Structure 1
Amino acid sequence: MHDDLQVLGRAVKQAQYRQHRAMDSALAAVGTTLAQWDALRAIDRSPGASARELAAATFQSEQAFGTLVGRLAAQGLVERRPGHGRRIQHHLTPDGERTLAAGHGVAGEVLAGCFAALSAAERATLLELLQRLNAQE
């Protein structure tokens, strides 16, 4: 039983690793990385969010996200604005929106390739199962 669970856990990790490598490689063609594009996606989904909220949304520590968003701001992709109290709000710049859009196109192609071995019904089942597992948190 434990061996089966370890094999399953490793298979999930291997699929994720393969997908991340493919995404990172393809996103380089549009001038970004997976971590940067993921941060842009999170900011786009929650404009004005704090670093704490965005770090949680991107599965990073606040310190790691702060370093990342600093690089994005230096590249002109993200703007940080004062919020209520000490809170800093994060917003995409027009260049950030263009990079995000280019990344969406790349991601669509990469993910289609990553999941090409599965039928639409199998992909739907996999999504349902993963969502059920993630709802346990």
Structure 2
Amino acid sequence: MAAALALFLLFAAAAAILLLHLVVAARAFRNQHHGWRSRYRVPETSSSSPPPPCASRAGLSPADLRLLPCFAAASSSPEFCAVCLEAACAGERWRALPACAHAFHAACVDRWLARAAACPVCRAAVSVSVS
């Protein structure tokens, strides 16, 4: 009986030490994690302050997007749209960018170009030439 009690107390002490170790490790991880978030947190801006210069719209206007050339995908086209990662189907409207000739679904690349006037693949500047 004394041996069983000693064995039980030994396991209980080991479990308590393990639990204490896990609690200390979890607290250290939580404090480290919160410290990381607070160091890199974006500062709050008031509604009366002007937006930062990088927040301005740098994409193309809808009128500029309509001026970019479109074409219909061929039935045997092995093209993949790098924006949505889907293959070209026959008759779909595609758009080739003038500067780099990368091609995408017109709807996919239009959404991209409305935000950034650069190719999604090579970042070449996309400009509209009025003829």
TM-score range, shorter chain: under 0.3
TM, length-normalised to structure 1: 0.23
- Structure with the bigger RCO (C-alpha within 8 Å, sep 6+) is 1
- Larger relative helix fraction: 1
TM, length-normalised to structure 2: 0.24
